[in-house]
Amino acid sequence: DVKVTQSSRYLVKRTGEKVFLECVQDMDHENMFWYRQDPGLGLRLIYFSYDVKMKEKGDIPEGYSVSREKKERFSLILESASTNQTSMYLCASSLGAGVNTEAFFGQGTRLTVV
């Protein structure tokens, strides 16, 4: 059973703080993704990574950065949190190498920036 685990379920941070959201998967997946979910806007891709140390910008990368030092871990970083980054953040992973396969999601982190 694939497990994608996000470090926090709920997080409250202050404006201007540096925020780290961590995601770990245990199935040796090549691809990992960070999405932001807001009502009526679906799942918007922030960044994805298809290999260690590789990353690509998604649709809304502004204000975010990522780190993938190990295959199983993909971190999302908010360099200076702002109130408009209050949202639900979902991490996902999937097998890679050009194969279209199922994406497995973490439980989500609801981030509130005050």
Partner 1 sequence: GENVEQHPSTLSVQEGDSAVIKCTYSDSASNYFPWYKQELGKRPQLIIDIRSNVGEKKDQRIAVTLNKTAKHFSLHITETQPEDSAVYFCAASFPPLMDSNYQLIWGAGTKLIIKP
Q: Which one, 24 or 103, has the nearer CB to partner 1?
A: 103
Q: Residue 58 or 63: which CB sits closer to partner 1?
A: 58
Distance between CA atoms of residues 114 and 111, nearest Å? 10
Least Å from the CB of residue 11 to partner 1: 16
Query: What are the DSSP calls for 39-69, one per residue?
Result: TTTEEEEEEEEEETTEEEE-S--TTEEEEEE
Q: Kindly state the smallest distance separating residue 92's Cβ from partner 1, in Å.
A: 8
The least CB distance from residue 70 to partner 1, in Å, is: 18
User: Which pair of structure tokens corresponds to residue 88?
Assistant: 């639900």
Please report how close the Cβ of residue 102 comes to partner 1 at its closest, in angstroms: 5
**Whether the Cβ atoms of residue 4 and residue 105 lie closer than 8 Å to each other:** yes
- Interface residues toward partner 1, by CB under 8 A: 30-31, 40-45, 48, 50, 56, 58, 90, 96-100, 102-103, 105-108
Q: What is the largest CA-CA distance in the chain?
A: 41
